[in-house]
Structure formats: C-alpha cells, structure tokens
C-alpha cells in the first residue's frame, strides 16, 4: 500500500471511530474519566500524556484494540513528519509503530513517552545526516 492510500485509510477509519464515545474507559482507568469521547481522550493526552497513554496501553494490553488505535492516531502526524522525503517508507513505519504500541513494555517503562518509540517506529524514514548517519 502506498503512503497516500495508507493515510487516507487511517484517516477515514479515524473519522468513523471518532463519533463513538470512549467505551467505559473512565470507569476502568481514572486518567480517562474526564473524556466522554475519543476527541476528549486526545485532549487528555495533550494535557497529561504519561498517565493517559499508560491507561490506553493498559486497556490495549487487555485486548481493547480501540485504545491502541487512539495511541496510533496520537502519533500518526509525527510519524508522517519523520517520513517527509521518504513517503514510500510510511506504510512500513505505521506497521512498526503499531507493533511498538502493542508490545510496549509498560511494566518495565511505566511512563510511556512517545520519544521511547521513535527508533522503533520511524521505520528508517529519517534521511541520513550529512555524515551518512
């Protein structure tokens, strides 16, 4: 799948998901209690990224794929920026990011800073610097 089709598919999917509420997440994860819908969850991530991302990763680890999809949506824009100049690598980078989210070692790293995923999820998108690295 080329980069444009991948992004269109993900954005179309997000538009259909975004009309849903946050499915009882606030009852299970206090960090998500203030969000009544997925837009509210994204706003909480911007305000308090560590506890909200950790809550979503816990929900995802328990089988809630929508929680992992919210984390992916949060990071998708940055991933596109990383792949500027190498759009052919974006579909692979998206796959790598999904795996990094799904396999995130929350017990070992309880503060899930997106910076810790950068190496895994960039999929080689970044152009080498002038020295070739």
Q: What is the pLDDT of residue 110?
A: 75
Q: Which residue has the higher pLDDT, 27 or 112?
A: 27
Q: Is the pLDDT of residue 117 over 90?
A: no
pLDDT above 70 covers a percentage of the chain that reads: 83
Q: What is the pLDDT of residue 20?
A: 78
Rounded Cα distance, 51 and 37, in Å: 17
Q: What angle do helix axes 3-18 and 38-47 make, rounded to 10 degrees?
A: 110
Q: Is the pLDDT of residue 52 over 50?
A: yes
Q: What is the pLDDT of residue 118?
A: 52
Q: Which of 5-9, 21-25, 65-69, 73-77 has the lowest mean pLDDT?
A: 21-25
Q: What angle do helix axes 65-82 and 38-47 make, rounded to 10 degrees?
A: 60
Q: What is the pLDDT of residue 55?
A: 97
Rounded Cα distance, 91 and 94, in Å: 5
Q: Is the pLDDT of residue 74 over 90?
A: yes
Residue 64: how many CB atoms within 10 A of its CB? 17
Q: Is the pLDDT of residue 62 over 80?
A: yes
């Amino acid at each position: 799948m080329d980069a444009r089709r991948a992004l269109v598919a993900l954005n179309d999917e997000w538009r259909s998901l975004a009309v849903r509420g946050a499915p009882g997440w606030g009852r299970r994860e206090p960090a998500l209690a203030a969000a009544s819908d997925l837009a509210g969850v994204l706003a909480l991530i911007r305000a308090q990224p560590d506890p909200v991302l950790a809550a979503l990763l816990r929900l995802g680890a328990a089988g809630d794929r929508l929680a992992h999809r919210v984390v992916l949506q949060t990071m998708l824009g940055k991933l596109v920026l990383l792949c500027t100049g190498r759009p052919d690598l974006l579909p692979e980078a998206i796959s790598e990011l999904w795996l990094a989210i799904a396999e995130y070692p929350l017990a070992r790293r309880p503060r899930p800073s997106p910076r810790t995923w950068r190496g895994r999820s960039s999929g080689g998108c970044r152009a080498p610097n002038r020295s070739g690295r």
